[in-house]
Chain A
Amino acid sequence: MTITNEAPAAVPVKLDARGLKCPMPIVRTAQKMRELASGQLLEVVATDPGAVADFAAWSRTTGNELLESSTDGGEFRFLLRRK
Chain B
Amino acid sequence: MSDDQLSLVLFSGTEDRLQAAAVLTAGAAALGKPVHIFLQYWALDAFRADRIEGPRQLAPEAGPEGRAAVDALAVAGQQSWSETLRQAKDIGEVDIQACSLSMDLLGIETEQLDPLVDGVEGVAAFFVNAGEGQLLFI
Shortest Cβ distance from residue B53 to the other chain A in the assembled complex, whole angstroms: 19
| Contact residue among B30, B78, B84 (Cβ-Cβ distance under 8 Å from A30) | B30
**Bound complex: CA of A63 vs CA of B73, how far in Å?**
32
Residue pair A61, B31 in contact (C-beta under 8 Å): yes
* Number of A-B pairs, beta carbon distance below 8 Å: 44
- Residue among A20, A30, A57 making CB contact with B91, cutoff 8 Å: A30
Chain B CB within 10 Å, residue with most, of A19, A26, A62: A26
Bitwise, A6-48 to B at CB < 8 A (1) or not (0) is 0000000000000111111011011100100000000000000
Beyond A21-B73, A24-B87, A31-B90, whether A62 also contacts B27 by CB under 8 A is no
Residue B49 lies at the interface, judged by CB distance under 8 Å to chain A: no
Complex Cα gap A27–B26 (Å): 7
Question: Interface residues, chain A, CB within 8 Å of chain B?
Answer: 19-24, 26-27, 29-31, 34, 57-58, 61-62
Interface residues of B (CB under 8 A from A): 23, 26-27, 29-32, 73, 76-79, 84, 87-88, 90-92
